[in-house]
Amino acid sequence: MMELFRSPNIITYADPKDVEFDGVSIVMLPWINNENYTSSMEFVKKTKSQILFGHLELAGFAMYRGLESHDGMDPGIFNKFDMVCSGHFHHKSSNGNIHYLGNPYELTWNDYNDNRGFHIFDSETRELDFIQNPYRMFHKVWYDDVDTTLEKMLDKYDFSVYNDCYVKVIVQNKTNPYWFDIMMDNLYKENPANVSIVEDNKHMDALQEEDIISEVEDTLTTLQNYVNTMNTDIDKKKLNSLFSNLYIEAQTFDSVS
């Protein structure tokens, strides 16, 4: 990993360190593991800095939207700080003085329609400003040709945003296959990276997108449901957490490879 960051403009911290920016002292805390846990905790205990930037795995925060981490360190360890900013979890969330900044962009379908962007820390006001990323990689297109005309239906879509993106076409009502083909032709003209079609007759009367869940998107829920129905003495929360971490790592690896 260090080979990727050999640049005069990038500084890496292999050990905990107090670093001053514009008169503000900030703890730079690397990933905590078995080898550095004791030294990291000693540093956290002794530092006089009021702000900490790290890569933490804390219990009680969402790894991505809808999936909370039940394992990890106790957030109370960092109560002494006015502000804690962390990477690691994909979902942006805050609780008290702790802020998970989330990914700056979408990586997998789990990130669909979840705010992405970057943050600016103001050293004078000590405020954290969020700059939202206007670009999205994953899109859902809802197809319904009932009680409309072809022109009105096509006007609903801005096909230009689908270039090089992953698109899921969810069919609510398809009474005119010819119209559907025209819509798909317009979509493919924009050269999306991938298109999948979901025709779920069980949910044809759904009014909201949350009511239609594609099996492609629900792999993790399937795993969790399987674990929850297992007849075992194993701690199911820990097992679900393990599956969740493995799933996220696999998704991230697939996205960057």
Q: pLDDT per position in the chain (257 positions), as tens?
A: 455 566 677 788 889 999 999 999 999 999 998 899 999 999 999 999 999 999 999 988 888 777 777 778 999 999 999 999 999 888 999 999 999 999 999 988 888 889 899 999 999 999 999 999 999 999 999 999 999 999 999 999 999 999 999 999 999 999 999 999 999 999 999 999 999 999 864 444 444 444 434 443 456 667 777 777 788 888 777 777 777 767 666 655 544 44
What is the rounded CA–CA span in Å between residue 208 and residue 113? 14
CB atoms within 10 A of CB 95: 12
197 Cβ neighbours under 8 A, 6+ residues apart: 168, 169, 171
- The torsion defined by the Cα of 100, 73, 223 and 254, in degrees rounded to 10, comes to 50
User: How would you class 232 by CB atoms within 10 Å of its CB: exposed for 0-12, middle for 13-18, buried for 19 or more?
Assistant: exposed
* The pLDDT value given to residue 110: 81
SS3 letters across the chain: CHHHHCCCCCCCCCCCEEEEECCEEEEEECCCCCCCHHHHHHHHHHCCCCEEEECCCECCCEEECCEECCCCECHHHHCCCCEEEECCCCCCEEECCEEECCCCCCCCHHHCCCCCEEEEECCCCCCEEEEECCCCCEEEEEEECCCCCHHHHHHCCCHHHHCCCEEEEEEEECCCHHHHHHHHHHHHCCCCCEEEEEECHHHCCCCCHHHCCCHHHCHHHHHHHHHHCCCCCCCHHHHHHHHHHHHHHHHHHHHHC
pLDDT at position 9: 76
Token code pair at residue 18: 């107090």
Q: What per-residue confidence (pLDDT) applies to 250?
A: 67
**pLDDT score, position 220:** 64
- Position 70 scores a pLDDT of 76
- Token duo for residue 142: 């809802």
